[in-house]
Structure formats: C-alpha cells, structure tokens
Amino acid sequence: MKILVYGAGAIGGALAVRLASAGEDVSVVARGAHAEAIRARGLRLTAGEVTRTVRVPCVDDAHALDVAPDVVIVTVKQTQLPPIAGTLAQLQSAGAPLVLAMNGIGWWFADELPIPDKRAFVDELDPGGKLRDALDPARLVGCVVQSSNEVVEPGVIVGTTPTRNRMILGNVLRGADNSIPAICSALSRGGYEALEATNIRREIWNKMALWLAVSPISAITGLALDTLTNDRAGFEVMAGVLREANAIGRKLGFELADDVEERLGFYRDKPARPSLLKDFELGREPELASGVLVFDVLARAMEFDAPHIATVAALTRLRWLAVRP
C-alpha cells in the first residue's frame, strides 16, 4: 500500500516515521524549512528512549509524486484545508480515500445527524461550501488521533506519548467502502492501536468535547492543565463545559459515558499546555471554528441552553482578537 501523509508536522511526521520504519511505502507533503530538512537529513522521531530517522520522498505538491498513492492521510489543520481542496479532490479521483487525521469537527459532520437547521453549522465550518463542492464524501474517512507529538526543530519530532498512540477510523458516508481494515493493518504495523469505528461521529464528538472543556480555558488564561484542574473554580468551569457538550452529544444520539470527574481529573498531575494555547502564544491561526465556535453554533441550532459553552466560545474568540498578530 502506497501511503501519502499530507502534512508532515507533529502528527503527520510522527506517523510517517512509524509507518516507514515498519516497511510501509510512505511519501510526505511538507513545505518550508521543515521540508528542506527532511530532504537533507531525513525525518527524525524521538519517542521515549527510541530515536528513528527515515528517508522518505518529500514533495511540496502532491502532483510531483511519481506514483499515485493508494491512501492519503491528511494531517494538516482544518484551517489549511480550503486551499488544498482541489488537490485533495484530484487524489480522490485517482482512487485514493482521504483519511482526515486532524482535530476538530469536520464540515461533513452534520450529515446523517438529527439537527433541525444545519445551515449555520455548515457555514461555520465550510464558508462558501468549497470543501463540500470539491470532495466526495464516499471517499472520506473520519479519524480520531490519540497521540501527542511536537516538532522541536525542522525535520525533528518528539513523541510525548511514546506508549499511547491510537487511531480510530470510520467512513464518513454510511455504507461506503474505503478498505479501512487494510489501512488499520498498516497503522498497526507502524505501532498504532488502530480501530475501525461503527460511528466515527460519536468518537470525534467524545474527543472534541474534552478538548473543548480544557483547551480554550487554557488559551484564555495562559495556564497549564494541572493548574486549572487543581483550581476549584477552574475545574467547575471545565466540568460545566464538558457536561453541556455531553448533553448535546446525547441529543444527537451518541452514547456517552458520564465520566466528567474522571476525564478532567486525569490532568491534575499533568502540566500539559494544549496546542490551542501554543497557537495563541505564537500568533498562529487557531482552529477556532472547528474546535470551539461550532459547539456554540450547534447548541443554538438545536435550541439547547449551553451557557458555559457560549461563554467560553465568546471569550476564546475575543482573546484571539487581542493576541493575534
């Protein structure tokens, strides 16, 4: 199986190293200094006490590949999708399914869900409908990535969860066939716990509900997660957000555990700094629409009272206006 990793940053770069080290046929799309380093010195991943460096074909443009890939794993940010929609559509047309291994709620998420008015929800995630017009949902695979990695210098990645690397995949369009078992087999050979989900929307919601509860508040306050969860008021705000997100998810038909205390308590001894906080500190365009604002839009569309989510969404948006370059 020829695998193209579209976006060889923290998640994609670690994925490419693990797959290539397992003998998979891997190419990557990367740009700038990161791409130059990959071409000159290879792509390096340090996870725990193990360091691996691989030489993989690295292109700026997928059209430069000598052979069309069998599957494309897209690991760019949601905000970077519209400019590459045409290229991704061409890869689909050549026969490759797209595995959307990224954070956030996708533009396709509302399809097949009982949402009374989907227009505002869809417009928030895909203004102008560029992604919906370009990409075939029958060739889309949703994906939840549970793996923490960081690019520490061009071409060099550190895996901060060396023993916890999991990917959950599921067809966006019910009944589609995108050879998910074969993709999971390749991921398993690369060291991932790879699973096929019967309801990928439920898996994405479950992950992003927790992300919504912790990441925006960290970005607003500048505080790490251990500090926030050990502060009584901070913990209660995050718990309120998570409870509301879980309640909305249940209205959408998702089976979700009532484990707010346990999920947030996980961070009490972990001084983690979420990627959204890092984006704010570095002035990088954050994934506000797909990670934060969409929850407020959806609550309103479903006429569900979610005051914690509404407040956090508004404050996160305003904080970004204050710190953006």
**CATH classification of the domain holding 156:** 3.40.50.720
**Same structural domain for residues 50 and 106?**
yes
Each residue of 60-84: pLDDT tens digit? 999 899 889 999 999 999 999 999 9
Each residue of 268-318: pLDDT tens digit? 999 999 999 999 999 999 999 999 999 999 999 899 999 999 999 999 999
How far CA 71 is from CA of 88, 171, 294, in Å, comes to: 11, 14, 29
What is the mean pLDDT of the segment spanning 220-246? 97
Each residue of 18-27: pLDDT tens digit? 999 999 999 9
pLDDT surpasses 90 at 123: no
**Same structural domain for residues 189 and 253?**
no
**Same structural domain for residues 186 and 211?**
no
**Same structural domain for residues 260 and 157?**
no
What is the mean pLDDT of the segment spanning 188-208? 97
- DSSP for residue 3: E
**Same structural domain for residues 105 and 188?**
yes
Each residue of 159-175: pLDDT tens digit? 988 888 999 999 999 99
What is the mean pLDDT of the segment spanning 85-102? 96
Answer with the one of 170, 198, 226 that is the final residue of a domain. 198
Say what the pLDDT of residue 118 is.
84
**Same structural domain for residues 142 and 25?**
yes
**Same structural domain for residues 162 and 189?**
yes
What is the DSSP track for 124-157? Answer: HHSGGGHHHHHS-GGGEEEEEEE--EEEEETTEE
Give the number of domains in the chain. 2
Strand partners for 153: 156
Answer with the one of 151, 178, 198 that is the final residue of a domain. 198
| Chain centroid, CA 48 distance in Å | 23
**CATH classification of the domain holding 274:** 1.10.1040.10
* Cα gap 148→287, rounded to integer Å: 17
Q: Which of 245, 214, 219 has the alpha carbon at shortest distance from 230?
A: 214
**Same structural domain for residues 168 and 236?**
no
**Same structural domain for residues 47 and 157?**
yes
* Cα gap 42→325, rounded to integer Å: 32
pLDDT surpasses 90 at 121: no
* Cα gap 298→306, rounded to integer Å: 10
Better pLDDT: 115 or 213: 213
How far CA 112 is from CA of 104, 115, 180, in Å, comes to: 18, 9, 20
Place of tokens 């479950």: 206
* Cα gap 207→39, rounded to integer Å: 34
With a pLDDT cut of 70, the percent of the chain lying above it is 100
**Same structural domain for residues 155 and 252?**
no
Write down the mean pLDDT value for the chain: 95
Q: Which domain holds residue 301?
A: 203-323
What is the mean pLDDT of the segment spanning 165-190? 96
**Same structural domain for residues 207 and 168?**
no
* Cα gap 109→284, rounded to integer Å: 25
Q: Which of 68, 79, 88 has the alpha carbon at shortest distance from 6?
A: 88
Answer with the one of 198, 216, 244 that is the final residue of a domain. 198
Say what the pLDDT of residue 163 is.
82
**Same structural domain for residues 166 and 52?**
yes
pLDDT surpasses 90 at 38: yes
